[in-house]
Amino acid sequence: MKLPDFDRRELERLHARRDFIQKAAAGTVLTAFGGGLYVLLDQLFGNEALAQTRDDGRERVPPGQRVISRLKPMGGEEGDTNPSAFALRVHGEVEEPFTLDWKGLLAMPQTTRRSDVHCVTGWSVLDAEWTGVTMKALAERARPTKRARHVIFEAAHGYSANVPLREALGPAAMLAHRLDGKPLAAAHGAPVRGVVPDLYFWKSAKWLTGLRFVSRDEPGYWERRGYHNHADPWKEERYG
């Protein structure tokens, strides 16, 4: 998504301000404020972000969200974080199923882009920088059939998240192995996680093991436990 020059300069300025505050907070400021650093960032740069709009006309920060400085680890049963053990099965309604190991993932074209993240619990992180392989590139290799309508993100210990095909193959959707220039931490789904930034973040499954293209929707782990099946942050689709 190409931003107008004004919006790009504004985002760069906000990002620089966030970096400055994070560095300042490394000492006594962090000790003094503790979790209040998030509140400080919300006041200094979240309010300005609230006034911004996206290219599609929606407010940049969805309703009910507060801006914080960095991703929170949101739990889950951790998978194998060793890259040498990584194996991603791409299967289902595709003409060319395949399995991708770590070396194969890194051999594919790599993309780095900034995306906003919105968690169902009410926090948002702006301009998170992800590096990985786009879902579109993986789909082009697998060649989904005409019957494919959804993608099921499969993860460790049977976790899954369902995403409509159109959104799963959106321009910002990817499988990421780096966050803000560093390899993913275990708590954030190392070695590889999904990133579907236009849906609440539980859809961006961690510790990925597979991508399954399906003709019929299959509610995932949280969807079967009362969360909304679609999860649009701007419609506050938190619960079913």
Write the pLDDT tens digit of every residue in 169-220.
Answer: 999 999 999 999 999 999 999 999 999 999 999 999 999 999 999 999 999 9
Q: Where are the beta strands (DSSP E) in the chain?
A: 66-68, 87-92, 98-101, 111-118, 123-134, 150-155, 160-164, 174-179, 182-183, 193-195, 208-214
Instruction: Grade residue 25 by pLDDT with cuts at 50, 70 and 90.
Output: very low
CATH class, 83-235 region? alpha beta
Give the burial class of 75: count Cβ atoms within 10 A of its Cβ; 0-12 exposed, 13-18 middle, 19 or more buried. Answer: exposed
Write the pLDDT tens digit of every residue in 28-62.
Answer: 333 334 444 444 445 555 556 666 888 888 999 99
Q: Which ranges of the chain would DSSP assign to H, the alpha helix?
A: 5-24, 30-33, 36-41, 47-50, 102-107, 135-142, 165-168
Is the model's pTM score more than 0.85? Answer: no
Residue corresponding to tokens 């889950």: 76
Which pLDDT score is estimated for 72? 95
Write the pLDDT tens digit of every residue in 221-230.
Answer: 999 999 999 9
Domain ranges within the chain, ordered by starting residue: 5-60, 83-235
Instruction: Please state, in angstroms and rounded to a whole number, the distance separating the CA atoms of residues 62 and 114.
Output: 17
Longest dimension (CA), the chain: 58
Write the pLDDT tens digit of every residue in 97-125.
Answer: 999 999 999 999 999 999 999 999 999 99
